Structure 1
């Protein structure tokens, strides 16, 4: 009788096989992008001040040392927005029952070896916890299904989908020992070959993050990075070329581990950057972009010589509650820095462990206008012989009491006046009733709002020329009462500067004469003429050009008035306001420089650069300013940086339309 033999088995098909293959498919993570600002002398360095016991921070053996040229090119490609590098999970052989068998060695030399079971139960508990703390929206609760000891090795069996989380822990430190975790079959991987240098670098960065992340407390411990054994074995801080890219790249790996930014923000509420020998924030500035909602931040025991070293984070972290700055040189150099820090962060409760603001104060602060990206500058008032001052004081008194006389006193046949109603301007954030109606009917007939009036005849008819025409429009406007300029100076902001080329009505100077450009922001009450009581509070902006001429020796060349709903005075009140002073001899000329700006760049130039970048990229003001700060206010580099990362920016980074 012929012997029987089995035919070769065909490859499995059908839904069950598909599910098995799907269970072994690689996870998708984000790309590494290291093309961010070059680190100067203030980068993350080899710290000379360790932070005590480094829990679970023993290094895995280095593979390859310093990043090679090929890896660096691959990483730099990511900064240009490419997506060709992925960190794939290696596929691991599966035992019967869908479990993967792994071998854990080195644990028997731990401090837990004296336990009754030799530390096995403590080790299993630790392995499950660390493997479950994988970063990302899809983190799993890892469980070891079976285990037994074979000599000095612990053999464990886990579901196939959890195996890679444990294999990545190879080389972690536990209870004073370094554990080794490998597959029992000894195979490296069946993904088609060893991982590329870029993939290995990305896996290493993610491993550092996961070792230093505690999901229970939502704490990301990035302290003493220069003392991290794995980073030292990788020679990460031996060269500026790698050190400057390390932290930005690690933050990108962190960011791409999450499906949604809400998941990312919820995963980490506390961050420590202590003991990193930081002299400024250049090397770590991207933390504020990737974790903007951090509540607790530790910057202790660094090398910040002055408070200005922290200016890049001055208006970041709007949810910050506790900040630690102890052990930095500026504590001795600037002993009163605490109040400045409190002003920077409106939600800060504790500074260096000491309460600096109550919950009631925070609630009150929340109702006030938020900080602006640029510091508010005090008004500049350049006068000569009191000409501008006398005009302002006389004008608003006359406007409130006798407009007909005022028009004939300051306006002539060539004077022009127009006003516009802005019905969409922001209202006072402290107002009790923000939905109150505007009641603009008395102004709309002559309002010259060019956003609403598009026809040329209508625009021309709403510009008054000559004293008589100005007086007629003045008469049709509601009666007003402006605050007293001396007694209520906080309700005004007035600026004046001399300008050339103002028309000379005498004809003696065809090229024009010197005059004044005066801009005024303030408020007034509409008055009920019969009762003399205030009916409605408004805000206004008024711009004058005045020159010599007329019965008062001063004539109005141009008068532009904007009337809007009352918006409060917070937007133009500088922190160091000490009362308005029109005397140019006593006025303090404000410093044109602002914190965080490089030498030679003043606030006005910086604002212009931001406005230009906003127009060219459609980014919001805050994101445009952040972009320029990241490249030390180099405009061409800012454009390049935007092009490389615009695909990863959130929708709120842009205005009404996303860039092409």
Structure 2
């Protein structure tokens, strides 16, 4: 008589071993009984009876003194009876969190260790449900990637446990990277996996209780250096904002160097400065680097004379004197200025670094770096409010000494400067020194006007051949 085979299919039990398919064979009275278990977990209906049992189980796990709730290995809690309450099931997890938020909304510490959590996306509700939560344990779960904890990065955690998750294996030999990647998400974190961390620098973290010291508009250790720098810069910016910048020839050393950089942005608002942008991270050609470096008094003043007419807002200036000796001073000025030649008259932000050295009875610029950037809309709005709230009177900066508001008088050029201008014009136009001198004298020693006049008359053919005889 042939043997009969009976197959019985079922689900794994609540001990959690149901995730592994199993097969048992038994023989009874000559019949083979084959039992197989499908992979999966027992299902249970979430009704009021189960919710009441959940409350009773969690009440024993709550510590009132520390305002902490321990839900570690919750599915193994004996108070749950025959129910298999696995928190890795989204519906069960949300039910439990809803109950907790209803009865303990001010919860400060939550332990979810050993709950076989693979995805923690549903934990993104923790920030809304528990605004006071500062401690979270989610170690010994199945979290595989550091990016998964982005779901809870809005929590203002001071302590976090992740150890025992697969993601930690990726950082076995990179502990510093592990701490850094976690702290990027939780800047206030003081303790990670039971280890104390250095206290964070939280200047970039919004904290209503933290009082950041007010910024100082000026850092100067030497009062005498401040007086010298303030007077020098007051004269400099008065002339820079005037109709002619030619008097600045006296402000630069004969061998002065000047360079300009800009912050490139997607809106291309600084395109007018782009061709002269000497950003060494973007320019690799040595010859072009050298060309963009203005070297010598005349090339420097000629370049800045071609820049748009400006109005500097002196009341926005900050000044730092990082170095002050008998032979040099290192000065950094930041602030805002407005372009007057542009129809829209846009406002720009600038950072100028001057190295000034003693020259005769005063000082002159040996090296200058100018950086121009486009302020974000929020800064422009704040600046406009500040300017509109000020009374309509001549602007005076607290950093620079007050002077007459009348336009600056032309500065008498020294003979050395006139001689250098004559030689430079001669080299640039190929005229002899006599005619170069005559051209400069007729344009009141304005180099740009002299060069423009030469180009105009040369096009018309009105310059005699004797002007080129050397």
TM range (shorter): 0.3 to 0.5
Q: What is the TM-score when the length of structure 1 is the normalising length?
A: 0.36
> Where is the strand percentage greater, Structure 1 or Structure 2?
2
Whichever of the two has the greater Rg, that structure is 2
TM-score scaled by structure 2?
A: 0.48
Bigger relative contact order (CA 8 A; separation at least 6): 1
